[in-house]
Chains A and B, each alone.
Chain A
Amino acid sequence: MRTLWLLARLRFRENIHSPATAVLYLGMPMALLVIVGLVFANGHPFERKTLAVVGELPPATATALARYPDVRLRHAQDREVAFGKLRTRAVHGVLIAPGDDAHTQLWVGPREELFGRGVASVLDGIELKVAEVPRWGYVHFLFPGLITITIMIAGVLGMGYGMVRYRGNQFLKKLSTTPLRRATFIAAQLGARSTLVLGQLALMVAAGVIVFHLPLTVGSALWLAGLSLLGLLTFSGAGFILACAIRNEANVLDVVNVVMMPLVFFSEIFFSVEELPVPLARVAAALPSTQLVRMLRAVVLYGERSPAELATGGLILVAWAFATFAVAVHRFRWHDQERAQ
């Protein structure tokens, strides 16, 4: 009994004397509560219905829909994008503004037919149509998010943990005594991690296409690979920064969890960040993970592959990559200098 008490006391002390662990155990539950409260402040995002709008709706239609705040209108740049979102369940229906003689069309999936009939009943001159929606549509929506999580883990945890380990076992100190250039070492780390990530992506894409009928072309697969490597670069920079801040290998997982948990919630991996309160949605939109998810979704699911269409997201990601690497290079140290031997 005495041994049990001693062991328990020593373990408890070990936990509370590690600042990172203390943050994880004491701060994280509170932070999670706040995050969940903010994310779901207006109810579950899926309670509300979202319609993608192609073209300019007649004023009467727009006014009639405005009376129902739980039906949200989101402008889509063309039919292809709008139907891509319908197929992946990112929206519940597509409203197509009328041409010269035609009616406004409302397209819904088979499971949303009742909702479509309800909308049609409160609008004049609506033609309701039911579209074919693939069985795995929401899985397709999640796929780019899962790739983003994989890349975040590879960059932040893989690179961060690797550097802390190399510093702990004095490999970095050893290298610092040789003529090896810092850039060569970092490029080698990125090269190894990129190869690993490309292998992971190939496996995920194969499973996505074969099992879940992911609609992937050779062109979109190449875009996916390129964007993923850009994302890896950004998150690797974040991993290097964490490695500069963490001294103890045992704390890496705790700190990485604290960083990654909010990113997963706020990065449009499971639902659109437009469902969040406006200030949070703006913060979320500026995150590299959100931009990566959006671009991957655009190229894989909605057929957007023109560089102009991806420019904004790409620039935000490049800016993050520059910023994280600038801080990492500034803060990077080969070894602890202030420890007496």
Chain B
Amino acid sequence: MAEVIAVDGLAKRFGAVEALRGVSFTVDGPQVVGVLGPNGAGKTTLLEILQGLQRPTAGRVRLFGAPLDPARYPKRRVGVVLQHEFYFDRITVGDYAELFASIYGVTGGRARIIERADLAARQSIAVARLSGGEQQRLFIAAAAVHDPELLFLDEPTSRLDPASKRQIGAFLRKLGERCTVVLTTHDLREADAVCDHALFLVAGEIKAQGARAALIDAVPTAERSGLGMEDAFFHFCAQRIAADGEAA
């Protein structure tokens, strides 16, 4: 395992709003890393800074051992799947795959995307006619066509039904064998099934971070059977979430 991401004292402010406060962590790869937190916790802002789309107000970020410079962002080593992916009206699965293979300059990329997304039988139909799960597989396969070392996904399963969530989870686990997958989610059960490592982000602050097993082991209870990420999250974050709820 090698260091992929290192963040130190990261802060981001939008006017009077502090989206991130003193965020520090390190991620080694390959593995699947979940950034977990409620809506408005700062997950997307953190991801966008790591993607080079936002500049932090303070703090340092290193990717692959080098300081992050948005002007020289290592786009050929990174893939990104946004929370809401755009596709052209009437674009077919094959054309969508062709477009991203061409953008990343991957010979044979179209076939690779379609094979990984398991959409060989549906390549001539419109992306709009795919199910939510099929669309998401296509978007992920397209973002990973160049075999990136780091893949970011923002809420990849938030709009999917349980069966599709399970499919995408398996897809991400497979990807995580060879690249570092960083995903944001507020679905703690999904995170439990997919992530090797987690960061608990609440109100712009990291409340806990570590390997899945270590986080669960830290839950102080005598009854250990059935414990999961959800228990760990509420153990570390319940106090702050309750405070936010009262303030709201």
User: B54, A337: Cβ atoms under 8 Å?
Assistant: yes
Q: For the complex, is A180 an interface residue (Cβ under 8 Å from B)? A: yes
A169 on the B face (CB < 8 A): yes
Among B45, B55, B76, B78, point to the contact of A341 (Cβ < 8 A).
Answer: B45
**Which range holds the interface residue count of chain B?**
20 to 34
Q: Which residues of chain A are near B19, meaning CB under 8 Å?
A: 340-341
A79 lies within 8 A of chain B by Cβ:
no
Q: Supply 8 A–B pairs (Cβ within 8 Å), ascending by A.
A: A177-B53, A179-B105, A335-B53, A337-B54, A340-B14, A340-B19, A340-B45, A341-B43
On whether the beta carbons of A166 and B86 are closer than 8 Å, the reply is yes
Q: At the interface, yes or no: A178 with Cβ under 8 Å from chain B?
A: yes
CB neighbours of A339 from chain B (8 A): 14
User: Do the beta carbons of A173 and B53 come within 8 Å of each other?
Assistant: yes
- Whether a CB of chain B sits under 8 angstroms from the CB of A170 is yes
The answer to whether A174 touches B14 (Cβ under 8 A) is no
Counting CB contacts under 8 A, is A338 at the interface? yes
Decide if the interface of chain A is mainly helix, strand, loop or mixed: loop
Closest 5 CB pairs of A and B: A341-B44, A171-B86, A177-B80, A340-B14, A169-B86
- A176 contacts chain B at the CB level, 8 A cutoff: yes
B75 CB contact (under 8 Å) in A166, A169, A179, A337: A179
Chain A residues in the interface with B (C-beta under 8 A): 166, 169-171, 173-180, 335, 337-341
Instruction: Say whether B103 faces chain A, with CB atoms less than 8 Å apart.
Output: yes
Q: A179 with B76: in contact, given A169-B84, A174-B85 (CB under 8 Å)?
A: yes
- Expressed in whole angstroms, the Cα–Cα distance for A287 and B122 within the complex equals 51
Pick from B17, B48, B52 the residue with the most CB of A within 10 Å.
Answer: B48
Q: Are A170 and B103 in contact, with the CB atoms below 8 A?
A: no
Q: Which of A176, A178, A179 contacts B53 (CB 8 A)?
A: A176
Q: Which residues, 83 to 140 on B, are CB-close (under 8 Å) to A?
A: 84-86, 100, 103-105
B75 adjacent to A178 (CB under 8 Å):
yes
Q: Confirm or deny: B208 has a beta carbon within 8 angstroms of a beta carbon on chain A.
A: no
Cross-chain contact B51 with A170 (CB below 8 angstroms): no
List residues 157-188 of chain B with CB under 8 A from any CB of chain A. Answer: none
Q: Bound complex: CA of A98 vs CA of B176, how far in Å? A: 91
- Flag if B53 contacts A170 (CB, 8 Å): no
Distance from B195 Cβ to chain A, minimum over Cβ atoms (Å): 20
8 additional contacts (CB under 8 A) given A177-B52, A178-B103, A341-B45 = A169-B86, A174-B82, A177-B53, A179-B75, A179-B105, A337-B53, A337-B54, A340-B17
Contact assessment for B48 and A341 in the assembled complex, using a CB-CB cutoff below 8 Å: yes
| Chain B residues whose CB sits within 8 angstroms of the CB of A174 once the complex forms | 80, 82, 85-86
Considering the complex, which residues of chain B in the window 49-92 have a beta carbon less than 8 Å from any beta carbon of chain A?
51-55, 75-76, 78-80, 82, 84-86
